[in-house]
Structure 1
Amino acid sequence: MGEINEDIFDEKKIKTAIKKGKRKSILTVVFVSAIVFVSLNIVNFAAYAYFSQKAFKQWDAYVRLSTPNGYISETVDTNGILGGEAQYKVSKDMKIKSLVIEQNQYKFGMIPSTSISRGAGGSIAITGEDWQNTYKENGWRDLMFFHPNVTYQKYKKGEDLINQMSGDRIYEVALSFDKPYKQRELPLYELPALTWFWVNTYNGNQLETFQREAKENDWSSTFIREHDALGFSTNSPVFSTIQLDHEYKEFQNLLQTSVSQDHRKAYGKMKNIDSDDMEILGIVIYGTKDELADIIKNPIIKASSLGGVIDNY
């Protein structure tokens, strides 16, 4: 028989070998864990950045479409697992300056973060004795619109609005037309530099619903609320001869991008309609009483509504 290596029975050497093996295993586990941790964080951050940017575009499109001259002015994102949450501020351009009108939040990603928020909107005249106005967080009234192809029991009159206006303050006024107009047909030959156009994006079923509600419900609640009226704005004076091709194309892009399924349905209707055939149902304009009175008194104005008011400085 050959000689037996006595090292294999050396207890100290065996323990040393086991310790080295354990250390090597631990180091391997730590190294692999670190690689996995870093890799997962890179993947998570990439997903977070992607979904954050995508959600911002969708929500900003929603705000720009459904808040006349509104936009998301600030967001603060909180990172989660493959997603997160954004706190955002909505501002409105009021001709001479912009102001924050409300704050809200949205979630994004594959596994959005969980949070709880509480709040309540304000309204008045719930008894039907006056219009059931709703208000933004900063206290401004939400604008009211009246579709020209719907017969309402009562309309907000321009004379009443003009009587509420005084001094040199800047007023936000929504004006609903007596019928849908294409731009070339509008008998308003020059509009203020900041004008928002309410576009006819409604289908037959929606109009039937509006008409049924106007007939069956109390007059004080039957109108189209601000967030249900879609449109786009211009930042230069608008003459009847000016084409709105660029603004209308951007409007179509926003409809396609918006987080709202209703907006994307509206895109399905509007994508085959060019700017020359687009129907305008009303406008939102900004200015002092003297600057707006003649437009408000125009015979094509069926109804009017007051929104925000700011001091002229």
Structure 2
Amino acid sequence: MNDFTDDVFDERKIKKAIKKGKRKTIFTIGIISVIVFVILNILNFAISAYYSQKTFKQWDAYIRLSTPNGYISETVDSRGFLGGISNYKVAKDMKIKSLVIEQKQYSFGLIPSVLISRGSGGIIGVTGEDWQVSYKENGWREMMFFHPNVTYKKYKQDEELIEKMQGDKIYEVALSFDKPYKPNELPFAVLPEMTWFWINTYTNREVKAFQKEAKENDWSSTFIREHDVLGFSTNSPFTSTADLVYDYDRFLKLLQTSVSSEHKKVYSTFKNIKIEDIEILGVVVYGTKDQILEMMKEPSIRAASLGGIVDNY
């Protein structure tokens, strides 16, 4: 009996049992911590990947709508907790080749990272003596657009500039029409294989604002900038409205997908409008000097604004 009692209250055995219990507890906590860590990382990765892809589609739609023949060509994600930052490149299809024109960032996730950017830049012609031209990061000029229902004091005409240029080049030129045209009324019987159509998505209120701006401000700044126009591209020669059905449907899907709330408002208006009833305010065309200058002779062209230029090879 005494032996049993001594064994039960043996201090060394009690300490050994306590140490063993501690080791077991620490080991259990460690295993649980590793499992929780792995699970949380998998969830974080899955959530970040989901929002990364979703946000990419939204921004790519935005770029494709507001940058003639533009798209996101590359993204590099930096992921944090339930989100991150994506560095992306905007490229433009110039008929025979694509070139990167800008590099930007967007945040994504349940807890999007805060973006802080610094930089400086400017425009040419700030004195009012010349057009207030903006430039992209790669040095290309941003195209100017002129709404046909607005009377401007002066219109951009880059015909002389193009005529002076030398070498075998492909030119990107925005042509603004003298009035809105339905697809079956366009003044061109055939358009180049790659043409971007500027669609009239403006409300009466927006047009009145343009009219007031053109009347009250200096001519050098009263035009619509490239990122404020919406449209879609076709990669086949335009000969009839039927050629645009697929591209117009894709245009509607991009409006619905875009990150911009303004684009979604446009979608709610256009979702019930058929391709035959849309109004085209102008086009962005790509071609050689002779091809572009020939198109500029069309009486319906009110303004012509040069954008990018690439070697024709």
TM-score (norm 1): 0.96
Report what 2:271 is aligned to: 271
Residues 54-203 of structure 1: pairs in structure 2 closer than 5 A: 54-157=54-157, 159-203=159-203
Deviation per CA, 1:46-99: give whole Å up to 9, x if none. 101100000110010011011101111111111111011111111111111111
Q: How far off its partner does 1:115 sit?
A: 4.8
The AA in structure 1 aligned to 2:12 is K
Q: How does 1:279-298 map to 2 (within 5 A)?
A: 279-298=279-298
Amino acid at match of 2:103: Q
Aligned to 1:26: 26
State the secondary structure of the residue aligned to 1:126: coil
Moved over 6 A (4+): 1-4
Q: 1:158 to 1:3 in 2, by over 3 A?
A: closer
Q: Is the 8 A contact 1:194 1:237 kept in 2?
A: yes
8 Å contact 1:198–1:280 — kept in the other structure?
Answer: yes
1:161 Cα shift? 4.6
For 1:230, the aligned partner's letter is: L
| Partners of 1:170 and 1:243 in 2: CA distance | 24
1:206 aligns with 2:206: yes
State the distance in 2 between where 1:158 and 1:187 align: 20
SS of 1:128 mapped into structure 2: coil
Worse-superposed segment, 240-249 or 159-168: 159-168
Instruction: Using the TM superposition, name which of 300-309 and 109-118 deviates more.
Output: 109-118
Deviations 1:7-48 (A, max 9, x none): 232100110110011011101111111111011011101101
1:219 Cα offset (Å): 0.9
**Shift in Å, 1:154:** 1.0
Distance, in Å, in 2 between the alignment partners of 1:158 and 1:85 is 39
Contact 2:87/2:103, CA 8 A, preserved across alignment: yes
Return the letter of the residue paired with 2:284. V
Which stretch shifts more, 193-202 or 161-170?
161-170
Unpaired segments ≥5 residues, structure 2: none
2:225 maps to 225
| RMSD over equivalenced CA pairs, Å | 1.7
Q: What is the deviation of 1:5?
A: 2.4
Which digits, 9 at most, give the CA deviation of each residue in 1:227-247, with x for residues without a partner? 000111111111135431110
SS in 2 for 1:265: helix
Output the CA distance in 1 between the equivalents of 2:89 and 2:176.
Answer: 28
- TM-score, normalised by the number of residues in structure 2: 0.96
Number of aligned residue pairs: 313
| CA apart distance, 1:298 | 0.4
